Amino acid sequence: MTEPRAEPVPGTEPAAGALADLRVVDASTLFAGPMTAMHLGDLGAEVVKVEHPRRPDPARGHGPEKDGHNLWFKTLGRNKRMVQLDLSSEGGAAAFRRLAATADVVVENFRPDTLERWGLGYGELSAENPGLVLARVTGFGQVGPYRRRPGFGTLAEAMSGFAASSGEPGGPPMLPPFGLADGIASLATAFAVMSALHQRETTGRGQVVDVAIVEPIMAMLGPQISRWDQLGTVQPRQGNRSSNNAPRNIYETSDGHWVAVSTSAQTIAERVVRLVGRADLVAAPWFGSGRSRAEHADELDAAVGGWIARHTRDEVVEQFERAEAAVAPIYTAEDIVADPQLEAIGTIRRVPDPELGELAMQGALFRMSEGDAPTRWTGRAAGADTAAVLAELGYDAEEIARLGASGAAAGPGVDS
């Protein structure tokens, strides 16, 4: 068992990072909202996560654990101070209003009208803090007939067109094995939040950001709507192939590994077929465009796959690199942490953790010549910072104790 380390004291570190002047209140659960706050925290924003006392973020129970400590939440909750409040109680709602009055951004993903029912709608929050940006992340948005449906990423992956275009030809639609729609929505929400904050510099006013999880993933799927509108056709399921270029697939090497090949550029396609001993294909009339090459995918896959099957993964990567053709090994986490390129750009960070000693995790999504910030701490226990944050808001010890005793910090579950 890893030796525990001293617990960090969130909120005491010197400000660092491009967003170090921002305070974000994360009142969301599961993935799209919390990931949004995580991205902002990665660039130095102070993030205060508010959870229900008896029903904390369900993400704490997702994925693998070690010694009773959830590994996913160690990542998702990084750089966040953890506060417990029952927002449906009078005292909890009052404390949340006081907290929101100090914030630049509130991220929430309750069903529409829930905050309003608790007296915490944007009208009430912005009356005390006109510059507040309220990011509302739901499955289908704040208006319309589906507005109060449960909004999970799986539903967005189904309704966006993603599942319909994924899978093997003739097989069923296929969902991703992870929160793809939530992850894309978190990036869109972070972008929307920063756009609203930029506009605030001109107007002096905050605003509501309405993100429907179904929309950002739909935007990633290319011209499927225009294709249907103009041609009346839909993207067929093609497995690992593409209708835009070939060879484009995954292929097994002689030592039992897999590699992915892409030929989006014509010059790359020519280099690949020359490398595998089929230079004659370059002269074929159909070889001149990605779309027409895709119509001959069987022939191209046979040539490329046959050559790759006779070589080890290292040999394939080495010879493709020498030929300036495009290939990548299919990695697992074990490969990722050992890759020299990812090490060189700092993709994986090792963060001290009070329970596990040190924890490897992916860091921020990009690097900045000025404005990067360290990962300050891993995800903490629910409510670990309640007393400290309430004290910063002006509550004395007696009031903090009274909040807990009255149910504001220890109340019954609420149906959001």
CA distance 218 to 194: 21
Range 155-163, long-range pairs (CB < 8 A, 24+ positions): 155/214, 156/181, 156/182, 156/185, 156/213, 156/214, 156/217, 157/181, 157/217, 159/214, 160/214, 160/215, 160/217, 160/218, 160/221, 161/218, 161/221, 161/224, 161/234, 161/235, 162/217, 162/218, 162/221
What is the pLDDT, as a whole number, of residue 3? 44
Q: Which of 149, 139, 226 is nearest to 185 (CA)?
A: 139
Q: Which residues are catalytic?
A: 182
Domains along the chain with CATH numbers: 23-220+345-406 (3.40.50.10540), 249-336 (3.30.1540.10)
Cβ pair 89, 407 in contact under 8 A: yes
State the Rg of the chain over Cα: 25
SS3 395: coil
Could you say which DSSP state residue 167 is in?
Answer: S
What does the alpha-carbon distance between residue 285 and residue 282 come to, in Å, rounded to a whole number?
8
Reduced to 3 states, what is the DSSP secondary structure of residue 302?
helix
Give dist(CA 249, CA 297) in Å, integer.
Answer: 9
Strands (E), 294-340: 327-329
pLDDT given at position 408 = 55
Distance separating alpha carbons of residues 166 and 149, to the nearest angstrom: 24
C-alpha closest to that of 129 among 106, 101, 105: 101
Per-residue pLDDT of the chain (416 residues; tens, 9 = 90+): 344 444 557 877 777 899 999 999 999 999 999 999 999 999 999 999 999 999 999 999 999 999 999 999 999 999 999 999 999 999 999 999 999 999 999 999 999 999 999 999 999 999 999 999 999 999 999 999 999 999 899 999 999 999 999 999 999 999 999 999 999 999 999 999 999 999 999 999 999 999 999 999 999 999 999 999 999 999 999 999 999 999 999 999 999 999 999 999 999 999 999 999 999 999 999 999 999 999 999 999 999 999 999 999 999 999 999 999 999 999 999 999 999 999 999 999 999 999 999 999 999 999 999 999 999 999 999 999 999 999 999 999 999 988 875 545 543 333 33
Which two tokens mark 10? Answer: 């969130």
**Cβ within 8 Å of residue 204, ≥6 positions away:** 130, 131
Tokens 């149906």 map to which residue?
Answer: 415
Model pLDDT, residue 265:
96
C-alpha span between 374 and 366 (Å, rounded): 12
Nearest alpha carbon to residue 155 among 140, 136, 166: 140
**Amino acid at site 406:** S
Can you give the pLDDT at residue 7?
Answer: 54
Three-class SS state of 180: helix
Give the pLDDT confidence score for residue 9 in this predicted structure: 75
Q: Give the tokens for residue 148.
A: 């109060």
User: Terminal CA-to-CA distance of the chain, rounded, Å?
Assistant: 39
For the record, the structure tokens of 258 come out as 């897999």
